[in-house]
């Protein structure tokens, strides 16, 4: 029988956006389509720079408090970005009829199942929009749900599915959404219309110029190095390591360089630890067939 894990994500903070213009405000600003948050209860996206780089990533949660007169949405995001995020959002607010507030009494919880995807509705969780295997997510007061796992268990689960998160796998302001899989995990809408950075990411999609992509990192000799360490083929950097847990990790890779290294049968290593790179199961891109045989 499969076992459900529930963890409080202590590194996350919750922000509320409330007011008549809340939906329209976010819809014209962030990378994802906000409407599914109202319908399905949860959306995943980012606030990009005008140059199309990820400045903040977050989940948008629907609220039970919506009425015809008022709209309310909650965002969970890394606590390390909270003050900068609030400052940036208030800059964008202008005349929008909204209030933006930190909610210190609300917390983010994640639930997942080792063996199969499940629905977590009974406990108030909504399926993670990035990938069903990631499980469910919810916000609530401190004792909203009983936990039986730690945040590091959640990250181990996340790493096992090669799902990247800002601050864990990359520094903000350095990568495009497609570099970190956001475009393939419902984090970018190419159809909803304008948002900050939209021209750049749409151009990348239409030109097919996504040279960087996520790859799984596997080693027989853990631990792997710190986030930001270069994965080398000989002396040439082919990828940058994100987060890792035991024998697995996440890499942001230059697919052309990895393919070339594999064709030349170069061994891959990070800080003298030998690694193999694999395409994630959810990806729509691939490498030379030699990669999957490693």
State the pLDDT at residue 291: 45
- Minimum mean pLDDT range among 61-75, 85-99, 142-156, 202-216: 61-75
| 47/58 Cα distance (integer angstroms) | 8
**How crowded is residue 176: how many other Cβ atoms within 10 Å of its Cβ?**
23
State the pLDDT at residue 289: 43
Instruction: Over range 88-95, report the average pLDDT.
Output: 92
Collect all residues with Cβ–Cβ distance below 8 Å to 126 and sequence separation of at least 6. Answer: 40, 41, 42, 61, 120, 136, 137, 138
The CATH-assigned architecture of domain 211-293 is Beta Barrel (2.40)
pLDDT tens-digit readout, 190-203: 999 999 999 999 99
Tokens coding 292:
């999957």
> For residue 33, which of 233, 253, 198, 277 has the smallest C-alpha distance?
198
Instruction: Over range 273-289, report the average pLDDT.
Output: 89
Return the beta strands (E) in the chain as ranges: 4-8, 12-19, 42-48, 54-62, 71-78, 99-102, 107-113, 126-127, 136-140, 212-218, 230-233, 236-245, 248-254, 268-270, 273-278
pLDDT tens-digit readout, 53-74: 999 999 999 987 655 556 899 9
Decide if 254 contacts 247 (C-beta within 8 A): no
Collect all residues with Cβ–Cβ distance below 8 Å to 15 and sequence separation of at least 6. Answer: 74, 75, 76, 77, 82, 85, 86, 89, 100, 101, 102, 103
Distances (CA, A) of 176 to 100, 202, 227, 260: 26, 11, 17, 23
| 111/138 Cα distance (integer angstroms) | 9
pLDDT tens-digit readout, 173-229: 999 999 999 999 999 999 999 999 999 999 988 887 688 999 999 999 999 999 999
State the pLDDT at residue 119: 63
Reply yes or no on whether the pLDDT at 48 is more than 90: yes
| 136/3 Cα distance (integer angstroms) | 14
State the pLDDT at residue 2: 58
Distances (CA, A) of 72 to 15, 25, 105, 263: 11, 11, 16, 53
Instruction: Over range 100-121, report the average pLDDT.
Output: 85
More confident position, 238 or 209: 238
Reply yes or no on whether the pLDDT at 288 is more than 70: no
The model's confidence at residue 292, banded by pLDDT at 50, 70 and 90, is very low
| 251/20 Cα distance (integer angstroms) | 41
**Domain spans in the chain, listed from the N-terminal domain onward:** 4-163+172-180, 211-293
Return the beta strands (E) in 122-222 as ranges: 126-127, 136-140, 212-218
Q: What residues pair up with 113 in beta bridges, in sequence order?
A: 4
Reply yes or no on whether the pLDDT at 293 is more than 50: no
Options 3.60.21.10, 3.40.50.970, 3.30.1360.120, 3.30.1300.10; CATH for 4-163+172-180 is: 3.30.1360.120
Give the predicted TM-score (pTM) of the model: 0.93
State the pLDDT at residue 116: 59
- Average model confidence (pLDDT) for the chain? 91
* Three-state secondary structure call for residue 84: helix
State the pLDDT at residue 123: 85
Instruction: Over range 7-18, report the average pLDDT.
Output: 97
Decide if 43 contacts 186 (C-beta within 8 A): yes
Secondary structure letter of residue 34 according to DSSP? S
């Amino acid at each position: 029988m499969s076992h459900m894990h529930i963890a409080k994500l202590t590194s996350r903070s919750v922000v509320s956006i409330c007011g008549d213009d809340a939906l329209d405000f976010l819809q014209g600003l962030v990378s994802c389509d906000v409407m599914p948050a109202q319908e399905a209860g949860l959306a995943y996206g980012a606030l990009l720079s005008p140059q199309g780089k990820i400045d903040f990533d977050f989940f948008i949660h629907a609220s039970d408090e919506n009425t015809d007169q008022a709209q309310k949405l909650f965002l969970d995001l890394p606590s390390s970005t909270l003050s900068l995020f609030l400052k940036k959002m208030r800059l964008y607010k202008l005349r929008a009829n909204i209030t933006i507030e930190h909610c210190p009494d609300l917390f983010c919880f994640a639930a997942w199942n080792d063996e199969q995807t499940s629905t977590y509705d009974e406990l108030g969780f909504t399926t993670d929009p990035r990938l069903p295997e990631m499980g469910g997510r919810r916000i609530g007061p401190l004792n909203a749900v009983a936990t039986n796992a730690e945040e590091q268990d959640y990250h181990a689960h996340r790493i096992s599915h090669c799902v990247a998160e800002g601050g864990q796998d990359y520094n903000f302001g350095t990568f495009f959404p497609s570099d970190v899989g956001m475009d393939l995990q419902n984090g970018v809408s190419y159809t909803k219309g304008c948002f900050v950075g939209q021209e750049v990411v749409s151009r990348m999609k239409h030109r097919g110029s996504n040279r960087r992509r996520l790859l799984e990192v596997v080693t027989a000799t853990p631990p792997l190095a710190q986030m930001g360490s270069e994965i080398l083929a000989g002396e040439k950097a082919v990828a940058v390591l994100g987060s890792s847990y035991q024998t697995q990790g996440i890499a942001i890779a230059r697919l052309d360089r990895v393919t070339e290294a594999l064709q030349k049968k170069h061994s891959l290593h990070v800080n003298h630890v030998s690694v193999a790179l694999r395409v994630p199961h959810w990806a729509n891109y691939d490498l030379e067939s030699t990669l999957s045989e490693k």
